[in-house]
Chain A
Amino acid sequence: MRLTGLILLVALGGLLFYGALDFPDWGDPGSPASSHVSPYYIEHTMSDTQVPNIVTSVLADYRGYDTMFETVVIFTAGIVCIFLLRTFKTTVSESKMYRHLPTGITIRIEKGGKVPDDSDHFERIDSVWVPYDLVIRTTSRMIIPFIQIFALYVIAHGHHSPGGGFQGGVIFGASIVLFAIGFNLRTAIRQMGEKVTAFLCALGVFIYAGTGMVCILLKSNYLDYHALAALFGTDPVTARSHGILIVEIGVGIAVMAVMTVLYITLSSAGKQDEGL
């Protein structure tokens, strides 16, 4: 069986390399892509959209319809993850672990029992090993604001430098994942509950698709941002630049929320209670 697999792998790999021989050379100016499509973007991006980063304008303006469905794909990934993994039924023999803060003693409370509600000396901890993590908590508390500001910079500065909604959204989501790792999953869920994240997933896609609808309402084509000039009170070229920014913000919100949902659902195996 292994031998058959190896022979198949080598044969298919060889076929792949044989097919790749027909590709034009890397950076070949005579290749079809470089001789018809790319020159238009390179020559017209500045006069059409006022965006110095050609990749951003192609992604969010010229090929905006593709990018919208990329966002929908990410949204679907988050929703499917919730549908597949989320469990609402709590297991039968569930005992919870608490730490008595003044003494540092760990106690286990069986199902039915509970710690005094009015006492704030008890801290709920995971049933796996939970060390005192003062250094990790303090470090992540210091780093997280800078990560988030950098994420917002990546989204907002995508017109001029590499970056945009996808990258900024992932970095923002990573800051929330860092928060969940540095503190614990329950604290992160209290800050970014599943209702909030599910709403933000949908909101991001809605902002993107809604921008296209506004363009239709302003008697233009779908996602043709220069119609937004009437709303912004600017010339059509600047309006396209602004339209790209709005769409990137939508993508960023959706990606950030989906990354949070994926992490929280995967690491807690759908129970959204204990996890990494």
Chain B
Amino acid sequence: MIWQIELIILVLVVMFGVGALATRDLLSAAILFGAYSFLLCLLWAIMGAVDVAFTESSVGAGISTVLFVSAVLHTTRRTDN
């Protein structure tokens, strides 16, 4: 395990998480959540939980991003808060 890579991914996870909450564009928030899930999946893989990483990458980064985007299609793209 290389702690530098782990640290970079951890910092990126926090950045993407805060970014997804802070952005006013819902579509960007959905894409940021996808990136957040994918980095989290890398983190699981580093910790040796390969099954969890697999689930995270398929459910979190894959399907849920598609569901978010298809839900954003039916609402306004910008939000006030």
A interface with B by C-beta (< 8 Å) = 26, 53, 55-56, 59, 154, 162-164, 166-167, 170-171, 173-174, 177, 181, 259, 262-263, 266-267, 269, 275-276
- The one of B54, B67, B74 in contact with A167, judged by C-beta atoms closer than 8 angstroms, is B54
Provide the bound-state CA to CA distance between A267 and B75, in Å.
11
CB <8 Å contact, A162 and B71: no
Which listed segment binds A: B7-15, B22-30, B31-39, B56-64? Answer: B56-64
Known: A262-B67, A267-B73. A162 touches B62 (CB 8 A): no
Do A167 and B73 touch across chains, with their CB atoms under 8 A apart? no
A162: contacting residue among B51, B70, B74, CB under 8 A: B51
- B50: chain A residues at CB < 8 Å are 162
Residues of B within 8 A of A (CB-CB), count: 17
- Whether A177 touches B69, Cβ cut-off 8 Å, given contacts A167-B58, A171-B58, is no
Q: In the bound complex, do residue B73 and residue A173 qualify as a contact, i.e. CB atoms below 8 Å apart?
A: no
Per the bound structure, the CA–CA distance linking A266 and B73 in Å amounts to 9
Interface of B is mostly: helix
Q: How far is the CA of A26 from the CA of B69 in the complex (A)?
A: 36
Are B47's CB and A259's CB within 8 A? no
B-side residues, CB < 8 A to A, are 47, 50-51, 53-55, 58-59, 62-63, 66-67, 69-71, 73-74
CA distance A133 to B69 in the complex (A): 19
Across-interface contacts of B58 in A (CB, < 8 A): 167, 170-171, 174
Please tell me if the beta carbons of B63 and A174 are within 8 angstroms of each other in the complex.
Answer: yes
B54 touches A276 (CB 8 A): no
B63 & A266 in contact (Cβ 8 Å cutoff)? no
Residues on A with C-beta less than 8 A from B47 are 26
CB distance from A135 to the nearest CB of B (A): 20
Contacts of A56 in B (CB 8 A): 51
Complex contact B62–A170 (CB within 8 A): yes
Extra contacts besides A170-B55, A276-B73 (11): CB < 8 Å = A26-B47, A53-B51, A59-B51, A163-B51, A163-B54, A167-B51, A167-B54, A170-B59, A181-B66, A275-B70, A276-B70
The closest CB in chain A to the CB of B48 belongs to: A27
B67 contacts across to A, CB distance below 8 A: 262-263, 266
Of A59, A164, A170, A266, the contact of B71 (CB 8 Å cutoff): A266
**Which residue of B has the minimal Cβ distance to A275?**
B70
Q: Is the CB of B63 within 8 A of A173?
A: yes
Q: Is the CB of A263 within 8 A of B51?
A: no
State how many angstroms separate the Cβ of A175 from the closest Cβ of chain B: 11
Closest Cβ–Cβ distance, residue B49 to chain A (whole Å): 8
Q: CB distance B54 to A263 under 8 Å? A: no
Closest residue of B by beta carbon distance from A158: B51
B-chain residues with CB within 8 Å of residue A53 when the two chains form the complex: 51
28 A-B pairs with CB atoms under 8 Å apart are: A26-B47, A55-B51, A154-B54, A162-B50, A162-B53, A163-B51, A163-B54, A164-B51, A167-B51, A167-B55, A167-B59, A170-B55, A170-B62, A174-B58, A174-B62, A174-B63, A174-B66, A262-B63, A263-B63, A263-B70, A266-B67, A266-B71, A267-B70, A267-B71, A267-B73, A269-B74, A275-B70, A275-B73
